[in-house]
C-alpha cells in the first residue's frame, strides 16, 4: 500500500482521533528510520565513496578512542578507569577486540539514535548488519560493527533537504 492509499483509507474513518492515530501509524510505516535499528552520519565525500564501492567504509575515529562517547557509555566512571580496566571492559563488550586498537581497524561506529546520527554528517545512512552477531551494542545509543563489509546500507537520508533517498 502506498502513501496515497493509506491517506485515503484514513479519510474514510469518521472519528478524528482514529484518523490521527492511523496517520501516525502510517507515517511510521513509511519513514525508514522506523525500519532500522542502526544509523551512521556521513559526509558527502563518504556518500560518494560508498556509492562507488557499494558498502560502508571503516570508521576513521573509533568509538573506544572517543572520550566524549566513552563518557556517555560509562558515565563518570570512565574518568576513574585505568587504561587496563578500560581495555578489559571493552574486551568483554566487543567480541573481536583484543585490547589493541588494530583489532578495531575494520570496524564501523554506529548509533541507534537517528537524531544523533544527523549530527555526524550531511547524510544519515540507515543500515543492517549481516549477520547480526557482527555488532556490539556499547550503550542504548552507541554500537560498533565489524567488519565494515557486514554493514549494509538500507536507506540514505539527506539532512540538509530533509528527504530520504533510495
The reply to whether the predicted model has a pTM over 0.85 is: no
Question: Domain check: are 6 and 79 in the same one?
Answer: no
Supply 41's cell numbers. Answer: 552520519
For 54-110, how does the pLDDT look when each residue is reduced to its tens digit (9 = 90+)?
A: 888 999 999 998 999 999 999 999 999 999 999 999 999 999 999 999 999 999 999
C-alpha to C-alpha distances, 107 to 52, 91, 119, 133, 138, nearest whole angstrom: 19, 14, 20, 13, 13
Question: Domain check: are 78 and 6 in the same one?
Answer: no
Residue 104: CA atoms inside 13 Å, Cβ hemisphere, count? 24
Residue range(s) defining the domain that contains residue 7: 1-30
Question: Domain check: are 74 and 53 in the same one?
Answer: yes
CA-closest candidate to residue 141, choices 48, 41, 43: 41
Question: Domain check: are 110 and 161 in the same one?
Answer: yes
For 12-46, how does the pLDDT look when each residue is reduced to its tens digit (9 = 90+)?
A: 777 778 777 765 665 555 677 778 899 999 999 99
Q: How many domains is the chain partitioned into structurally?
A: 2
Amino acid at each position: 500500500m502506498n502513501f496515497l492509499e493509506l491517506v485515503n483509507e484514513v479519510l474514510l474513518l469518521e472519528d478524528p482521533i482514529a484518523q490521527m492515530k492511523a496517520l501516525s501509524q502510517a507515517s511510521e510505516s513509511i519513514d525508514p528510520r522506523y525500519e532500522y535499528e542502526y544509523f551512521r552520519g556521513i559526509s558527502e565525500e563518504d556518500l560518494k565513496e560508498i556509492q562507488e564501492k557499494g558498502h560502508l567504509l571503516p570508521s576513521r575515529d573509533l568509538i573506544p578512542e572517543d572520550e566524549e562517547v566513552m563518557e556517555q557509555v560509562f558515565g563518570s566512571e570512565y574518568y576513574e578507569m585505568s587504561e587496563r580496566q578500560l581495555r578489559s571492559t571493552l574486551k568483554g563488550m566487543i567480541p573481536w577486540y583484543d585490547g589493541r586498537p588494530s583489532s578495531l581497524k575494520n570496524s564501523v561506529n554506529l548509533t541507534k539514535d537517528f537524531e544523533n546520527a544527523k549530527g555526524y554528517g550531511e547524510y544519515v545512512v540507515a543500515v543492517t548488519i549481516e549477520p547480526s552477531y557482527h555488532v556490539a551494542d556499547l550503550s542504548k545509543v552507541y554500537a560498533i560493527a565489524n567488519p565494515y563489509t557486514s554493514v549494509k546500507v538500507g536507506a540514505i537520508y539527506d539532512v540538509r533537504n530533509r528527504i530520504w533517498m533510495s
